[in-house]
Structure 1
Amino acid sequence: MKTAFITGANRSIGLETAKQLSKQGSFVYLGSRNLENGEKVVQELSEQGYQNIKAIEIDVTNPESISKAKNMVEKEKGKLDILINNAGILGVIPQTTTETSVNNIKEVFETNFFGVINVTQAFLELLKKSDGPRISNITSGLGSLTLHSDPTWKYYHVKNAAYGPSKSALNAYTIALAYELRELPFKINVIDPGYTATDFNAHSGPGSVESAASFIIKHTLTDENGPTGQYFSNDIEDETGISPW
């Protein structure tokens, strides 16, 4: 049985991903900033018949919280097979480049970029003990510089100073991480679940959490010949799902 850890998994896409991974036979640590909220969700899932899901407290901006989570996984499982860095924040809206404060931008980067690095580095030791470690960093189409430079792109006018740039930085970090670990059996990719209807965007997106989670899992549970250092998007309308950087 594979062991997966998903940050920000007590609701929306992260929660649905945990549910689908559980159904497929993985043991899932459901990461939540508030343990009580996470345990409440797990109890509800248990009543619905889901098994092998456990709430774990983690704040990706708090090194002590990350260390405690890592130690728990190590004590209980000894290794980690799948890390899905899903936790993220949108930040204060609007985010104009001329008026958004640096503090607001830093706050978004603290979770969406530095938080991912903190978690990844902490869990790397446990991932290296897996026969086929997978790291999926959940990004956004708004992180694509190529698409942002294309006036014909349907989201061309959705520009901001914090959220999109934090995902662009995450994409760049993922490329470097995948390259550095290329000689090991890691598969490390960024995955955009697409514009999905969630609490994150006041349910304005056209996509479903079921589709988003399925897409994440498809590009996470790859075999030894799968790609690494790639950018996949559920909004790309071709069979590869590969997005331009």
Structure 2
Amino acid sequence: MEGGISSFPVPSTRIAVVTGGNKGIGLEVCRQLAGNGVTVVLTARDETRGGAAVEKLGELGLSSVIFHQLDITDASSIARLADFLKIRFGRLDILINNAAFGGVEYNRDPAYASVTSEEELCGMDRDQRLEWLWRNSRETYDAAKKGLQTNYYGTKHVIEALLPLLQASSNGRIVNVSSDFGLLRFFRNEELKQELNNVGNLTEERLDELLDTFLKDFEAGKADARGWPVAFAAYKVAKAAMNAYSRILAAKEPGLRVNCVHPGYIKTDITMHSGLLTPEEGGSRVAKVALLPEGGVTGAFFEDGEEASFV
């Protein structure tokens, strides 16, 4: 799908990478960035689905989207993407970290949830829909571990691998697709909450220790008693950790714009299509942050299109 690398001139437009770009919010972000003149590298774990997504966008007249395989939990896959970008473009202007995992096991297949749940969800408000989603999910240690490995470590490893290419840009920016589930209000342990919010003293090593502690507490059945978030705990902890890491990175790399954005409660596979907003609406909120004017805010959290608190 990548073609002969040496035959492609480096485009003068901005270059973006979108992880998890073959469906849902990621696909919409690709569409909206390409529609704004950005050359987009759409990435996905599955080559067939990723290639089909690029073809779909091409049919809409968006010819500046190309596909590259990426599994954010696979170090060799990340390295191949980094090498490709280095050879093909020599820089990266925008990195959208969208790929994610719900951190739970679903009691029904999310891919078919839009069909099976449509009547059940009719008339429900946000809280009722989240309760429905919780009833149709179950937390297991394996799912929790995968949630941290994907939503925090996978995203972090992609950032680390692509950081030199972002630094080579005159206007590099990272947008981490976060969630209001990652807000610190869900942590009931005040010391833990304060530590995660004190990013001036927080280190990446300490974040690793905290995530290890969470997994141990979760496995021992003590997460609730220790004041960790309840209900979708692994997802909330991973997103909170990513929010904290984003603020650490923003301070460490003042030449880059590093921000987090909550796209809203979206109808996607990760929510079993129980959300209130469409992928187009969620993608618009992410793309808006990615396309902020040069020299804008960094280390911020965006909700409903506006800057908001991490707490």
TM-score by length of 2: 0.70
Contact 1:5 1:31 in 2 (8 A): yes
From 143, 154, 174, the counterpart of 1:135: 174
The 5 Å alignment of 1:24-103 reads 24-93=36-105, 100-103=139-142
Report the secondary structure of 1:215's partner residue. helix
d(CA) in 2 for partners of 1:87 and 1:208? 17
Matched with 1:192 is: 262
Going from structure 1 to structure 2, the CA distance change for 1:192 and 1:109 (only over 3 Å counts) comes to: same
d(CA) in 2 for partners of 1:106 and 1:158? 15
From 35, 40, 44, the counterpart of 1:23: 35
Unaligned runs of 5+ in 2: 1-12, 107-133, 189-228
d(CA) in 2 for partners of 1:62 and 1:243? 32
Contact 1:4 1:28 in 2 (8 A): yes
Identity %: 35
d(CA) in 1 for partners of 2:257 and 2:22? 25
Matched with 2:126 is: none
User: Whose helix proportion is higher, 1 or 2?
Assistant: 2
From 148, 159, 163, the counterpart of 1:120: 159
Give the letter for the 2:156 counterpart.
I
Q: Aligned-pair distance for 1:130? A: 0.4
d(CA) in 1 for partners of 2:45 and 2:266? 22
Q: Aligned-pair distance for 1:243? A: 3.4
The count of corresponding residues between Structure 1 and Structure 2 is: 230
Contact 1:39 1:55 in 2 (8 A): yes
Give the letter for the 2:276 counterpart.
P
Q: Aligned-pair distance for 1:225? A: 3.2
Q: Aligned-pair distance for 1:32? A: 0.5
The 5 Å alignment of 1:170-209 reads 170-182=242-254, 184=255, 186-209=256-279
Going from structure 1 to structure 2, the CA distance change for 1:49 and 1:224 (only over 3 Å counts) comes to: closer
Q: What do you get for the CA RMSD once the two structures are aligned?
A: 2.1
Unaligned runs of 5+ in 1: 150-156
Per-residue Cα deviation, 1:142-181 (whole angstroms, up to 9, x for no partner)? 00012666xxxxxxx9732211111011111111111111
Contact 2:148 2:238 in 1 (8 A): yes
Larger Rg: 2
